[in-house]
Amino acid sequence: MRRIAVAHSNKPILFILYIILIVLLFYRLESVPPVWYDEGWILSVARNWVEYQHYGQLLNGDPIPVTLTNTGKPAIALYMLSFKFLGVGGYQGRLISALLTLINIGLLYHLASKLYNPSIGLASVLICLLVLPSISFNTAINPIIIGRQAMGEMPALFYLLLGCVSFVHSNKNIYIGTLLTVIFWGLAGLTKLQLLPSLIACLSVPIGVMLIQRDWRSLKLYSYILCGLLLFFFFFRGFSPVLDPRINPDSQKQLLSITAFVPIISKMNIDHALSTLLVFSPPAVVGFVYSLIKWFKNKRQRKLSNNELLELSLISLGLSWILWFIFLSVGWTRHLFIPSFIGSIFIATLMQNLGYSLKGKRGINKSINLFNTSRPISQNVTRFLF
């Protein structure tokens, strides 16, 4: 009953947040910020898919394979559907990303509430929207600015969070929950290939824990999800050239080698990635590390529930992504968006353990104070839009 009461007390704050978000996401959506390189490639493919039934670019009016698009079909299909039913245009393209931002914020609240409690859910949303962007006004980790651009981050995050929510509710129907988790996480990996190693890690680490604990039932479940994910990913990834012979696998591999999996590790590249990480995402790193230590300290000696296993999975996903960012990426700040978004949950748990809670009437007052302390970021966003 107390959990339900806390959830109801959060509704006014969430309602106000959503009203503000709708204004910030949809006002002058077609022009602010200006459409840029990555968006151009994605939207051009979506437009050609609608107008010419060709998944790729045009060269002098002739179809050519999709080459420099670092976002997969599951995301571009969403933009294509918007063009198909609403017409081709910048607003229609960005509309999908803005809508997904609203959904992802709701999924973040729901996931954190199920893993912990509604107070953590509310704190996660406030941290994601107000605290993380206020560290530095950088568009690459600001969910409002990212949500106003037609890129692959919001669709990938959408599929990832849907998979997590499906797993949380898998106790109602284990077969449907497992199948949906495999499908949504597979779509997330196909949307952004950077996600695949982290998805494998987020399943492999709990499998290792289950082997030590001899929890064969959970081990079987996670093994099914891992095998299903790999089969789903490689089937559709390998089947694409068969469906469309114009797709050039070699060009896609070359693109991956300079954006997703950089094969040459240099000290300069690592230094750049580390400096970017320490400037823009230190709270997420601290949250993941703290939660990992706390998890193994409190839960390693007993059988674990699905929620506790998913908690370990998300921590593993975040930390493996950060390791990938340091050692195998080009160090672009935008690549920190997804772990920063997920990391909001674990920053919230850290804050609660330090005595900062958003429960009851005091929680509302603290939320107002959080709005006030983050006023500079609100002013910067307003200046950016108007």
pLDDT at residue 188, as a whole number: 96
Residue type at 39?
Answer: E
Location of structure tokens 């672009």: 332
Domain ranges of the chain: 2-245+261-381
Residue type at 280?
Answer: F
Cα 43 to Cα 53: distance, rounded to the nearest angstrom:
14
Q: Which long-range contacts (CB under 8 A, 24 or more apart) does 7-15 make?
A: 7/113, 7/118, 9/359, 9/360, 9/361, 9/363, 9/364, 10/118, 10/119, 10/121, 10/122, 10/358, 10/363, 12/364, 13/122, 13/364, 13/367, 14/109, 14/122, 14/125
Cα 386 to Cα 371: distance, rounded to the nearest angstrom:
20
Q: What is the DSSP letter of 246?
A: T
Across 56-70, 110-124, 286-300, which has the greatest mean pLDDT?
Answer: 110-124
Cα 144 to Cα 29: distance, rounded to the nearest angstrom:
11
Q: Residue 71 — φ and ψ, nearest 5°? A: -125, 135
Q: CA of 359: how far to CAs of 68, 109, 124, 181, 362, in Å?
A: 48, 15, 13, 31, 6
Residue type at 5?
Answer: A
Across 109-123, 127-141, 319-333, which has the greatest mean pLDDT?
Answer: 109-123
368 contacts: CB under 8 Å, gap ≥ 6: none
pLDDT at residue 58, as a whole number: 80
Rg, the chain, Cα only: 21
pLDDT at residue 356, as a whole number: 62
Span 19-45, pLDDT tens digits: 999 999 999 998 888 888 888 889 999
| Least confident residue range of 4-18, 174-188, 332-346, 349-363 | 349-363
Cα 315 to Cα 321: distance, rounded to the nearest angstrom:
10
Judge whether residue 256 has pLDDT over 70.
Answer: no
Residue type at 300?
Answer: R
Of 65 and 72, the structure prediction assigns the larger pLDDT to: 72
DSSP letters, 52-110, are: SS-SEEEETTEEEE--S--S-HHHHHHHHHHHHHH-SSHHHHHHHHHHHHHHHHHHHHH
Pick from 70, 75, 73, 40: nearest CA to 251: 70
Cα 304 to Cα 299: distance, rounded to the nearest angstrom:
7
222, 172 contact by CB (below 8 A): no
Q: What is the DSSP letter of 35?
A: P
- Torsion over CA of 13, 16, 21 and 23, rounded to 10 degrees? -170
8 contacts: CB under 8 Å, gap ≥ 6: none
**Range 66-82 average pLDDT:** 85
**Beta bridge mates, 64:** 57
pLDDT at residue 297, as a whole number: 84
| Least confident residue range of 164-173, 325-334, 361-370 | 361-370
Cα 278 to Cα 268: distance, rounded to the nearest angstrom:
15
Pick from 53, 156, 136, 147: nearest CA to 97: 147
Question: pTM of the entire structure?
Answer: 0.88
Task: Determine what percent of the chain is predicted with pLDDT higher than 70.
Answer: 78
Q: Provide the angle, in degrees to the nearest 10, between the axes of the packed helices 375-385 and 360-373.
A: 50
pLDDT at residue 229, as a whole number: 96
